């Protein structure tokens, strides 16, 4: 067992078709405050999905529990490092309830900024997905990244299940991407605003002296298409 402090940069919704049927839950990820490395807490459920009780946190100052918020610094006990092909950052959680230690401080944010990814090739390639065969042949060395996204615009489209989903259009360097959003807070906010035209993020949400980052994640194998999809798992806004 080991306990780590991580700054939360994603608490996204997750659902997939597993052997026991459809599993719904959460995917949490953040940076280890000691090493600066990415950590994705996972459970023993199919594909490591976290149930809501597993990722609820005890706030030591408020004596209350809630889901993690972005830029919370969490204390999490882990059983062991459990990397898998395509997701080397996975750690199996222990049984001790998670704790919210504090909001991210200036030194915490400095660690975060030092780990911003500036390579425009995300997770082996420039497409919005990677085939499972490619993941097996050339396993990505990372499945999580924090990027400064330029020209961010939001749109709405129909997903594989016939429901509306939010997609973000943005650039990393000179490379354009169009990726689904799984951050539940931003997804709910945007679905109430989006119509048939793209929404420019800066025009609707931009504030002076604000930095915008996106937490990107490479998802598990989607059986219907045999591919792993790149996702916007968190929208992180910081005042300079």
Residue 167 tokens read as 């997609």
Q: What is the DSSP letter of 68?
A: -
What is the chain's pLDDT, residue by residue, as a tens digit (240 residues)? 899 999 999 999 886 554 444 548 899 999 999 999 999 999 998 788 999 899 988 766 665 568 999 999 999 999 999 999 999 999 999 999 999 999 999 999 999 999 999 899 999 889 999 999 999 999 999 999 999 999 999 999 988 778 889 999 999 999 999 999 999 999 999 998 988 889 999 888 878 888 999 999 999 998 889 999 999 999 999 887
Chain center to CA of 80: 21
Q: How many CA atoms lie within 13 A of 209 on its CB side?
A: 2
Per-position b or e across 162-183, b if 16+ CB within 10 A of its CB: eeebbbbbbebeeeebebbbbb
β partners of residue 13: 26
A 10 A CB-CB count for 189 gives: 16
Domain count, the chain: 1
Query: What was the pLDDT predicted at 196?
Result: 83
Domain containing 29 equals 2-239
Query: What was the pLDDT predicted at 60?
Result: 62
- How far apart CA 83 and CA 62 sit, in angstroms, is 34
- How far apart CA 164 and CA 193 sit, in angstroms, is 13
- How far apart CA 5 and CA 60 sit, in angstroms, is 14
- How far apart CA 40 and CA 35 sit, in angstroms, is 14
A 10 A CB-CB count for 131 gives: 15
């Amino acid at each position: 067992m080991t306990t780590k402090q991580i700054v939360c940069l994603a608490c996204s919704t997750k659902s997939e078709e597993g052997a026991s049927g459809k599993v719904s839950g959460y995917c949490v990820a953040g940076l280890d405050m000691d090493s600066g490395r990415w950590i994705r807490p996972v459970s023993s459920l199919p594909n490591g999905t976290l149930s809501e009780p597993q990722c609820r946190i005890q706030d030591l100052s408020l004596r209350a529990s809630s889901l993690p918020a972005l830029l919370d610094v969490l204390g999490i006990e882990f059983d062991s490092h459990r990397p898998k092909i395509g997701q080397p950052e996975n750690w199996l959680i222990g049984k001790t309830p998670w704790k919210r230690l504090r909001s991210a401080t200036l030194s915490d944010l400095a660690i975060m900024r030092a780990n911003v990814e500036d390579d425009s090739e995300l997770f082996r390639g420039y497409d919005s997905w990677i085939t499972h065969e490619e993941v097996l042949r050339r396993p990505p060395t990372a499945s999580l990244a924090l990027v400064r996204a330029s020209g961010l615009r939001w749109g709405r489209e129909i997903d594989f299940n016939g429901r509306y989903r939010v997609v973000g259009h943005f650039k990393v360097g000179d490379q354009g991407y169009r990726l689904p959003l799984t951050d539940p807070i931003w997804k709910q906010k945007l679905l109430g605003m989006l119509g048939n035209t793209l929404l420019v993020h800066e025009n609707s949400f931009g504030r002076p002296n604000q930095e915008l980052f996106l937490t990107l994640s490479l998802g598990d194998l989607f059986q219907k298409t045999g591919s792993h999809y790149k996702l916007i798992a968190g929208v992180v806004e910081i005042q300079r």
